[in-house]
Structure 1
Amino acid sequence: MAGAEPPCALIVMGVSGSGKSTVAEALGKRLGWRFEDGDSFHPASNVAKMAAGHPLTDEDRWPWLNAIADEVERTCKADGHVIIACSALKHAYRDVLLRGRDDVRFVFLKGTQELIADRLAHRKGHFMPPELLTSQFRTLEPPDAGEHVITVSIDETIEAIVDGVLRQLKFGGEKHKAMS
C-alpha cells in the first residue's frame, strides 16, 4: 500500500469496551480527519434496548449500519476523510458498511474478554452494560485479510495502537494531515 492513496474512511471496530471511540478519535486527531462515533447513528430504540440490558438483533442493526454506510458514502463522494467507531461484529455487517468500496479500511481492535471486561467494569456513563460483553464475543466474527482489515492488539497505549495502525496503513500522520 506504500505510495497508494489513503482510504477515504477508516472504521474502527471491535466489541464494546475495546476502545473504539478512544482509538478512532486519536487517529482522527493524528491524521486531521473527522471522527464520528457510530453510537450516534443508533436509533433511540436501539439505545433503549441496550441500556435495558438486551442485545440487539440483526433486524435492530440494519438501519444503524445503513446510516453509517450512508455517511461513509457521502464523505467519500465529497473526497473527504472520516474515521468512524463501529462494532461491525459480523462479516455481513462489514459488507453493508463497505458497499463494495475498496477505499475503506477496517481497524480491528483485538483483545481478550478478560481485559475488556475489566475495562467495562471501570467505565462510567455508557449505555452499554458490561453484562452484554459475552453476547458481543459470541456475535464477533473476526475479520479476515480479504476484508480490508488492519488488526491491532488493545494491550498497548493509545499512542502505540495509533502508531501501529499508521504503520500498517503505510503512511504517517504528517504527510496526510492536510487531506481532511
Structure 2
Amino acid sequence: MKKGNEVMKKRCQWANKNVLNEQYHDNEWAKPIYDDKLLFEMLILEINQAGLSWDIIVKKRANFRDAFDNWDYHKIALYDEKKKEELILNKGIVRNRLKINAAVNNAKAFIKIQENYESFSNFIWSFTKNKIINNSIEDEEITPSFSELSIKIGLELKQKGFSFLGKTTVYSFLQAIGIVNDHYNYCSFKN
C-alpha cells in the first residue's frame, strides 16, 4: 500500500490510536533495550499502566520524565515523604500513592541488582540467555497477557524487593524492552 511515494507500513492494531502510539510502536516497542536508565523508565511506566491503558501513559510520558528527575533512579531511591506528596499533587502523571511508593521502592531494589549483577540489563536478559522470544501472533485476540517467563521473573523480582509487579505487568515490561517480540505477524515491524 502506498501513500504518494511513501510505502504505508502495517502496524499492530493497538498502535493506530494516535501519533504517539505510532511513534512508540515504530521506534521503541519490542526493540531490545540494554541501557539501565531506559530499562528503569520502562519498568516504572509499565507499573503505572497497570489498570489503565498505554494510551494514557504515552501521553503523560514527558510529564513522568520531568516529575521523576529524568529517571535518575539514584535520586528516586532517596525520595522522602515530601517529594512523594509533591508527586501525588502532580496532575501530569498518574497520581496513585501505591505506584509512587513502588517507584521509590523499586529504585532501591534496582540499584541492589546492579550491585550484584553489574547492571540490571545483565540480570533481566539472563532469563533468556540474551535471546529474544519471537511469538507468532495472528491478531490481538490471541495476544498473551502473561507467560511462564513473566511469572518466573515476577517472583524473582519480588524476592529481590520489588513491588507492584505481577505477571501481567512483567509481561508488558518484557514486550516493551524487546525480550518478547509480540508484533502481530502482519505487522511491518515484526522483525
Q: Which has the larger radius of gyration?
A: 2
TM-score, with length taken from structure 1: 0.29
Q: Which has the higher contact order (CA 8 A, sep 6+)?
A: 1
Normalized per residue, which structure has more helix? Answer: 2
* TM-score using structure 2 length: 0.28
